[in-house]
Amino acid sequence: MYEYIIGQVTFISPAYIVIETQGIGYQIAMGNPYRYSSKLNQEVKIYLHQVIREDAHSFYGFNNLEEKQLFLRLISVSGIGPKSALAIMANEDHEGLIQAVETGEVAYLTKFPGVGKKTAQQMVLDLKGKLGELAGEVAVKATPKVSGNQALEEAVSALTALGYSEKEAKRVEKLLEKEPAMATDEYLRLGLKLMMKK
């Protein structure tokens, strides 16, 4: 099992980044790959979780150990797979997520893609009282601004990669167009917050 990887960010897409180390490029699925836009061609440390299936060996990446711990707790819930867990974590309002689990706010939890009422109830049942130590530990740093339109398009692509429908992504895109220009990861964070208000 891998704990982390240190290497150079060589590629960023809506669903994953590529980290090159020792001449090998590793594709690592991320909740918000664009948070690494400012680190392109720079060395980073990414915490990893590897999932091995018959048809694929996949890596899921995290900014820090606390994010990885939250991910591991989410995938321990019946009905939540790695992709759903990444989509839940992409919102980056981890304190809001933890609060919703602790208070049993099923309506809030069902706003995440792929989370229905049954899965939300299972999350509360399985995770209540087990996420408190992670609250406030999962932090995100702002990234520099890039040109508005490209950043917005990348953020909308990332929303669809996380499992939101084209229709939902377009609705949020119209709202984001009214905002001042910002970096892709900032558009994505704001877009995810708007998705949660639907």
Rounded average pLDDT over 125-131 = 88
Give the pairing of strands 56-62 and 16-21.
Answer: unpaired
Q: Does 74 score more than 80 pLDDT?
A: yes
115: phi then psi, degrees, rounded to nearest 5: -110, 110
Rounded average pLDDT over 182-195 = 88
Lowest-pLDDT range of 4-8, 75-79, 109-113, 141-145: 141-145
| CATH code assigned to 148-196 | 1.10.8
Domain with residues 65-134, CATH architecture: Orthogonal Bundle (1.10)
Per-chain mean pLDDT for the chain: 87
Domain boundaries, the chain: 4-62, 65-134, 148-196
The residue type at 49: H
The residue type at 162: L
62: phi then psi, degrees, rounded to nearest 5: -140, 145
Share of the chain above pLDDT 90, in %: 49
4-62 and 148-196: same fold? Answer: no
CB count within 10 Å of CB 84 equals 20
Which residues, listed in sequence order, are joined to residue 163 by a DSSP beta bridge?
none
| CATH code assigned to 4-62 | 2.40.50.140
Across the chain, the runs of DSSP E, i.e. the strands, are: 4-12, 16-21, 24-29, 43-53, 56-62
- pTM score, whole prediction: 0.73
Residue with tokens 């990332």: 158
For residue 167, give every residue at least 6 positions away whose Cβ sits within 8 Å of its Cβ, in sequence order, or none. Answer: none
Q: Which CB contacts under 8 angstroms, 24+ apart, belong to 112-118?
A: 112/84, 112/87, 112/88, 113/84, 113/87, 113/162, 113/163, 113/164, 114/80, 114/83, 114/84, 114/87, 114/163, 115/80, 115/84, 115/88, 118/79
Give the pairing of strands 16-21 and 4-12.
Answer: antiparallel
Packing angle between helix 117-127 and helix 65-75, nearest 10 degrees? 120
Q: What is the pLDDT of residues 94-109, one digit of tens each?
A: 888 888 998 999 999 9
